Amino acid sequence: MAGDEKVQAKAEQAKGKVEEAAGRAVGNERLTAQGRADQAKGDARDAKEKIRDALTD
């Protein structure tokens, strides 16, 4: 299960980066903000998994 969470975190981070770049390219502030939010969700999920890994080792 933890592997799935890590993959999902990386996918959210990547999706966010793409959305943010696309938003900047076309001048869409909403898309840029959504991209940043997706990146933040991915970062939080990644941090949670790192903590979980540290506690189980």
- Alpha-carbon gap, residue 7 to 19, rounded angstroms: 18
In this prediction the pTM is 0.84
11-44 residue pLDDT tens: 999 999 999 999 999 999 999 999 999 999 999 9
- Residue with more model confidence, 8 or 57: 8
Q: Which residues have C-beta within 8 Å of that of residue 9, sequence separation ≥ 6?
A: 42, 43, 45, 46, 49
CA distance 13 to 33: 13
- The alpha carbon of 44 is separated from its chain's Cα centroid by a whole number of angstroms, namely 8
